[in-house]
């Protein structure tokens, strides 16, 4: 099935996503959009020079009309967090960027599925949903999908099996307040808690929380792994895979959450977008998610004006 994907924001993360999509050969058309036009043109040319090695037609968006009728729109556009800048200040700056992006995007691709990668991911996803007017299942964020991959890597080092053999999720906020779904995690047919101690799981979680900072300290930014993660999400959409992935989505009514916020919970991903997967967690993990939801709700009201 022909598929057109637009990436809005082609910095390091946008380029990594584009590279993952082109290599996968899952889509027919890829439109790249960015405000830095010379750099964008060079990036597009670089992809086009490899056209003999892939089947995706890569073009630049000269204006919004070039993005029209996209099946999937990926939003990475946003400013990076300054040293010492609070998350709330970052939210405010990126809100203004979304105000310029979302209305024309929604106008030109009214039937698109929208994946939000810009940070703070959960807040930006809720904002994009509100601005677009799209159905809930068609707007979601990359959330803790990458965090979950990082967790599986850390646990694999302790257990001695491949990361893909570990079924474990990081849920909640894409940030320091994330929650490891410990009691539902498995390795093969064995509960994770039968194989490693709570202390070892906590150590792995701390490594996940600090992972991005470690990469940024060494190379200045993160890009490659999130590019792979978003590539997998697009694959699940295009192939109609019905794959369960932890993504930033409406959380109200799930795990006892009463606030209208977005955070990562297991979702089924198919060609129509996402829908909730029935999630049963122990009371202590639900309580942690509920507490995080309350804090996030206050921040979203104060900074973004979301109710």
49 among known catalytic residues = no
Biggest CA pair distance of the chain: 56
d(CA 222, CA 228): 12
Cis peptide before 120 (omega within 30 of 0): yes
Determine which one of 54, 108, 129, 174 is catalytic. 174
Between the CA atoms of 79, 93, 70 and 238, what dihedral angle is there, to the nearest 10 degrees? 70
Q: Three-state SS for 59?
A: strand
Which residue ranges are tagged as binding site?
9-14, 34, 94, 117-119
Complete edge-to-edge strand list for the sheet that includes strand 57-60: 57-60, 29-33, 4-8, 72-75, 113-116, 139-141, 243-250, 262-270, 273-276
Phi/psi of residue 8, each to 5°?
-105, 110
Between the CA atoms of 80, 84, 90 and 93, what dihedral angle is there, to the nearest 10 degrees? -80
In sequence order, the 6+-apart residues with CB closer than 8 A to the CB of 93 are 78, 79
Which residue ranges are tagged as binding site for NAD(+)?
9-14, 34, 94, 117-119
d(CA 95, CA 242): 32
Sign of CA dihedral 37, 82, 115, 96: negative
> Which of left, alpha, beta for 181 (phi over 0: left; psi -120 to 50: alpha)?
beta
Q: Which residues are catalytic?
A: 174
């Amino acid at each position: 099935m022909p598929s057109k994907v637009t990436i809005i924001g082609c910095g390091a993360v946008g380029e990594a996503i584009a590279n993952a999509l082109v290599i996968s050969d899952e889509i027919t058309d890829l439109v790249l959009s960015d405000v830095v036009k010379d750099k964008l043109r060079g990036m597009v040319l670089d992809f086009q020079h490899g056209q003999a090695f892939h089947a995706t037609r890569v073009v630049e968006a000269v204006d919004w009309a070039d993005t029209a009728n996209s099946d999937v729109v990926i939003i990475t556009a946003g400013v990076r967090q300054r040293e010492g800048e609070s998350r709330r200040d970052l939210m405010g700056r990126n809100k203004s960027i979304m105000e310029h992006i979302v209305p024309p995007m929604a106008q030109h691709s009214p039937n698109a599925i929208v994946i939000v990668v810009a940070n703070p991911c959960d807040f930006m996803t809720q904002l994009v949903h509100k601005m677009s007017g799209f159905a809930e299942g068609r707007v979601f964020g990359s959330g803790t999908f990458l965090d979950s991959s990082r967790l599986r890597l850390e646990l694999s080092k302790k257990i001695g099996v491949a990361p893909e053999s570990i079924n474990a999720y990081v849920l909640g906020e894409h940030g320091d307040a994330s929650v490891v779904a410990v009691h539902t995690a498995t390795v093969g047919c064995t509960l994770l808690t039968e194989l490693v101690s709570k202390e070892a799981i906590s150590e792995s979680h701390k490594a996940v929380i600090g992972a991005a900072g470690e990469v940024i300290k060494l190379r200045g930014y993160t890009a490659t792994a999130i590019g792979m993660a978003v590539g997998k999400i697009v694959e699940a959409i295009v192939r109609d895979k019905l794959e369960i992935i932890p993504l930033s989505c409406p959380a109200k009514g799930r795990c006892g959450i009463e606030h209208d916020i977005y955070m990562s919970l297991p979702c089924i991903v198919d060609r129509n977008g996402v829908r909730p997967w029935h999630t049963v967690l122990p009371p202590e993990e639900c309580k942690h998610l509920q507490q995080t939801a309350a804090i996030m709700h206050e921040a979203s009201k104060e900074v973004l004006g979301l109710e």
